[in-house]
Amino acid sequence: MLNGILVIDKDKGMTSADVVYHLRKALHIRKIGHAGTLDPDVTGVLPIAIGQATKLIELMHQRPKKYIGSGLLAYSTDSYDISGQTILAKPVEEEIPANTIQSAMNSFVGEITQVPPIYSAVKVNGKHLYEYARAGIQVERPKREVTVYQYDLLDQPNYDLENQSEDFSFIVKCSKGTYVRSLVNDLGEKLGQPAVMTGLRRIESSGFKIEQAVKLSKIVDHPELVENYLQPIDSFFTQYPIINLDEENWRKVQNGAIIQVKTDAKKLTLRYNNKVKAIYKKTKRGYQPDLMLLANQ
């Protein structure tokens, strides 16, 4: 039985649900899901939870994500990326210095209030925003609180005198629910120049990096290789102290009982036979179940 996290390097033009569909079919498994939707035009890290690891999906969502991307100062669109319709164009009449762009980026670092793009999967009254957009219906977009940990230029911006535009590349580390497209759009507003996101690639999500990722086609074409790329459930809990259970405590854990351990850690990773079987949390009475993974083999 497969249990673990498969880090897929998603290709452009495919939805996250498409990835899950193809893997379910190729691997003949039912318990599978993704952590952190990627737009079809966005590439990069898409963690796929398999078997017992599907219990981690909500926890996986909580961890920061990191992206590299590119943007263009000259025009903006209704979708905040180049797939949308142009709604405002304004020539960049003179080069905007890198330090000016970086200073504007710095203003978004920290906890911010963000309005998602109208072409997004955010729901209002049971419908996705993109459904309202396609129907031409005006609707108030809900504001959300997100955290931006990093928003930096990757290299020197490139000013195009002939086209009176300026392109730039950037790196962003942010919390779940953050729309990087909105960060690019809002950066343009801060600079007094319409902006559009021209490309985006996720390089880290749920603690997993692009270096650990494999192309979907490789797994679909050679499903027998999946275990070579499967990240063990243990790899998700490296921040918690590990307790290797003896037979007595293993019997208690199997029954969801409280155990006594001499440590001050808030949470513990409990292992038996070299596999994570549970995450326990500290209480006044001892350590009790927080997440059970008894079937992790």
163-176: b (≥16 Cβ within 10 Å) or e: eebbbbbbebbbbb
The distance between the two most distant Cα atoms of the chain, rounded to a whole number of Å, is 75
CA distances (Å), 187 to each of 101, 151, 194, 207, 273, in order?
8, 10, 9, 27, 51
Rounded to 10°, the helix 180-191/98-106 angle is: 120
Tell me the C-alpha distance between 21 and 231, whole Å. 20
Which residue out of 9, 39, 81, 186 is catalytically annotated? 39
Distance CA 62, CA 35 (A): 10
Calpha distance 276→164 (Å, rounded):
57
> What radius of gyration do the chain's Cα atoms show?
22
39 is catalytic: yes
Please enumerate in sequence order all residues whose Cβ is within 8 A of that of 171, keeping only pairs 6 or more positions apart, or say none.
Answer: 66, 67, 68, 69, 150, 151, 152, 154
Instruction: Tell me how far the alpha carbon of residue 94 is from its chain's centroid.
Output: 36
> b vs e for 112-124, b when ≥16 Cβ sit within 10 Å of the residue's Cβ?
bebbbbbbbebee
- Spatial separation of the C-alpha atoms in residues 249 and 262, rounded to whole Å: 13
- Percentages (nearest 5) of helix, strand, coil residues in the chain: 25, 35, 35
Question: What residues are labeled active site?
Answer: 39
